[in-house]
Amino acid sequence: MADFETPEIKEYPVIPRLKPDVMSHSKPFVAKEQFQEPLGFPGELVDNWQDKAIEKMGELQGKYRSLQVFLDICVKCGACTDKCHYYLGTTDPKNMPVARQDLFRQVYRRYFTFAGKFFGKLGMPGFVGARELDKEVLDDWYSYFHQCSQCRRCSVYCPYGIDTAEISMAAREVLDAVGVGQKYCNEIIGKVFKIGNNLGLPEPALADTLEGLEEEVKDDTGIDVKYPLDVKGAEVLLVTPSADFFAEPHVDGLIGYGKVFHEAGISWTVSSYASEAANFGMFIGSYENMRRVSMRIREAALELGVKRIIFGECGHAWRVAYSFLNTLAGPFDFLDPRYPVPQHICEFTYDLIQKGALKFDKSANDHRVMTYHDSCNVARASRMGPMPGGQFKIPREIIKATCNHFYDMPADTIHEGTYCCGGGGGLLTDDLMELRVKGAMPRMQALKHVVDNYGVTHMAAICAICKSQFSKVMPYYGFTMDQIVSVHQLVSDAIVMTNNEV
């Protein structure tokens, strides 16, 4: 099945020996013209691509001061080198965060610093760590900036807080600007513009799917729980990843949200126009595309006349929602100011638990011994609830309220030190399977630790990408695909339903 070796899980984490260029072959499919054009990018590598790329770099450095600072201030201390899951899993030195940054930084030095220009003209740019932008460099960018899931773990350990994710986003934006886009991300963004979600689920299919869920919950519980679509005047607009409609274990989380809304007696709806929480515009570093995707949520909220917007379990969507939505698509002065704009489904459920509004039979989850995977964009790029660290506490409190058995993974692999699932940042595609499997190694190692020591049987997450990635890669490490679950699946299984009419 696979033409690569799954990394071995050792007894203790070890920093692997370097194997230069061992992942230089890893490249996702390049987007064809049909996927580039709807996003406003050239269909293929443009003729004067060097000039274009350098011009774009200059533009981005002017627009994002952080980028300029990150390119200037690295002192090569090495603190980040062993912090990237892709380096630990692949052993390729270019997957060390500083080396990845330097692929971009060397070009920055050549064209934007005095030393680089001076020695560049003398034909010896390497003397000051600068390099000409040639095709080899461009190919390296395409390969290694698609081996970064923009998880920001390295930035936690950098004494200067240099964020490789931002450099990686900038590099991808330059690549798009010269016509070398990534098929997976760009095809998907086009589908959001055309149909409303990443999957390309049109309204009738969405309606049919939600109706099926209503029947399923009725069969299971005997209660009429609604999964409403395009209902004008609903209190809450739920914006959730389209994987929640389509895939397992995601759909069990969606079933859980519906049960919580039902028990809370709060009317809600999904919008077919904004039927996607994910925003891949962020992955490709494109502000314009990120804004276009976000605007759909604003338009849907206005059209449906809702009072609140709640986001479902999606990691990077929550970063966009929590950190950027107001400036991308605000102001949201038409929503009820008594609630956070927007709110996370976990905040919503946790709040109800605090108020004693939900009843649980925890024994329903007694066949599970749980652990929790912090998704990177929730952990390191956002917050949740009114207290610092709420993004770590709230999901765990929900699990503890619904399950009797919970154990955390080792401390340096959770909270702000969490390891990426290996498939984030626009890399959740079959053409990067080797990278995904290898990049999952540190998380799998931490999971194995709690499986061996505490008998953990399941890991919960609140991100559609994490869930899909784990169900795919866990079998490579001797686990089974159903050991990853949605947090709201645990809620769904333990909640005691009453006959509330909404």
Partner 1 sequence: MAIEVNGKSYEVDEEGYLANLNEWEPAIAEVMAKEDDCELTDSHWEVINFLREYYEEYQIAPAVRVLTKAIGKKLGPDKGNSKYLYELFPYGPAKQACKYAGLPKPTGCV
Positions touching partner 1 (CB under 8 A) are 29, 183-184, 187-188, 191, 197-202, 204-205, 208-209, 212-213, 216, 241-243, 245-248, 250-251, 278, 314, 428, 430-431, 464-465, 467-468, 472, 481
Q: Nearest approach, Cβ of 271 to partner 1 (angstroms)? A: 17
Least distance between partner 1 and beta carbon 342 (Å): 19
Q: How far is the CB of 52 from partner 1 (least distance, A)?
A: 26
Residue 80 or 293: which CB sits closer to partner 1?
Answer: 293
Residue 388 CB, shortest distance to partner 1, in Å, is 28
- Give dist(CA 109, CA 428) in Å, integer: 32
Q: For residue 309, give Cα distances in angstroms to 108, 240, 326, 384.
A: 41, 10, 12, 14
User: Which lies closer to partner 1 via its Cβ, residue 79 or residue 247?
Assistant: 247
Cα 272–chain centre separation: 22
Q: How far is the CB of 80 from partner 1 (least distance, A)?
A: 27
Quote the least distance from Cβ 255 to partner 1, whole Å.
9
Asked if 461 contacts 483 with a C-beta cutoff of 8 angstroms, the reply is no
* DSSP annotation string for 11-40: SS--PPPP-TTTTTT--PPBPPHHHHGGGT
Shorter beta-carbon distance to partner 1: residue 137 or 435: 435
Q: Over the Cα atoms of the chain, what is R_g?
A: 23
What are the φ and ψ backbone dihedral angles of 127, each rounded to 5 degrees?
Answer: -60, -30
Strands 458-461 and 370-372, by their bridges, are parallel
Judged by CB, which is closer to partner 1: 178, or 314?
Answer: 314
Complete DSSP assignment for 200-246: ---HHHHHHHHHHHHHHHHHHHSS-----BS-TT-SEEEE--THHHH
Closer by beta carbon to partner 1, 28 or else 125: 28
Which is nearer to partner 1, 27 or 362 (by Cβ)? 27
Q: Which is nearer to partner 1, 31 or 456 (CB)?
A: 31
Position 228, amino acid: P
Q: Which is nearer to partner 1, 144 or 470 (CB)?
A: 470
Of the candidates 154, 136, 156, the one whose C-alpha atom is nearest the C-alpha of residue 144 is 136
> Got the DSSP string for 368-424?
--EEE---HHHHHH---SSSTTHHHHHHHHHHHHH-S-B-PPPGGGSGGGPPP-S-T
CB of 401 to partner 1, least distance (A): 26
Give 44's contacts (C-beta < 8 A, 6+ positions apart): 33, 36, 179
The three-state secondary structure class of 285 is: coil
Closest approach of Cβ 421 to partner 1, in Å? Answer: 11
